[in-house]
Amino acid sequence: MAGKGNENVTYVDKSGKRLDGRKVDELRPIKVDVGVLDRADGSAYVEWGHNKAIAAVYGPREVLPKHMANPYKAIMRVYYRMAPFSVPEHKRPAPGRREIEISKVLSEALDAAVLTERFPQSQIEVHIDILDADAGTRITALTAASAALADAGIPMRDLVAGVSVGKAGGRVIADLTKAEEDASDAVDIPMAILPSTKEVVLLQMDGILTKEEWKDAHELAHKAAEKVYNLQKEALRKRYESAEAVEETEEIAETKEEVVE
């Protein structure tokens, strides 16, 4: 649990501004791009503050080894990895316990969104690489993975959108930074939902909140997740608008060639 920080730090000042100048409900800058990899069935790149994540989707395809196949639904396999250069101190390339744990919770969150029952006896692989890490990487990874699945054309109940909320310096805040996660009273709550139904598909909490603080954090998370959801949808819309424009250009070029001939 966090709680090793300096008790004298003012994480939210009297004007409601945090250490980095944001308001308590304000998110760090977020950039979402989809279709960034040619050799994957679907892909997405997300920058969230200083976090950078890239996700690639493959499938549905044959399960290997075959005896692990589920006759009723596709198996969702998520591989979350942090690059050795993603953190200040060089990280070992082999996946650690934290990466294995995050892979599992992301797999469960995405499994709740994907219509896996349409693809029995198959598997869907999602590979997520964290290129730069600075608090909230699992939510950044989930944002990229969800957009990549949609880019792959895999049927989903909805996109998965989320945010980390919590507490620092006695105030409930959204999208904690590393400094805020290290506050003496820090609470960190990664939370993700299916926005159309408000179903919670990921919820973890590191720390303790009062009932009122939890109520505020829950409301804050849902509002923030809607903002992330809109960014995901906008990125997908741009992706397919540009694809349609390319197709139209190619059709016009083919028509001109036919006229010339």
- Contact between 171 and 212 under an 8 Å Cβ cutoff? The reply is no
User: Which residues of the chain are under the pLDDT cut of 50?
Assistant: 1-3, 249, 252-253, 256, 259-260
Beta strands (DSSP E) in 169-213 are: 171-174, 187-194, 199-203
What pTM value is reported for the model? 0.90
Question: What is the count of structural domains for the chain?
Answer: 1
Is the residue at 105 inside a domain? yes
The parent domain of residue 200 ranges over: 30-260
Is the residue at 21 inside a domain? no
- pLDDT computed for residue 250 by the predictor: 55
CATH assignment of the domain containing 207:
3.30.230.70
Write the pLDDT tens digit of every residue in 60-94. 999 999 999 999 999 999 999 999 999 988 888 89
The rounded distance, in Å, linking the Cα atoms of 40 and 176 is: 32
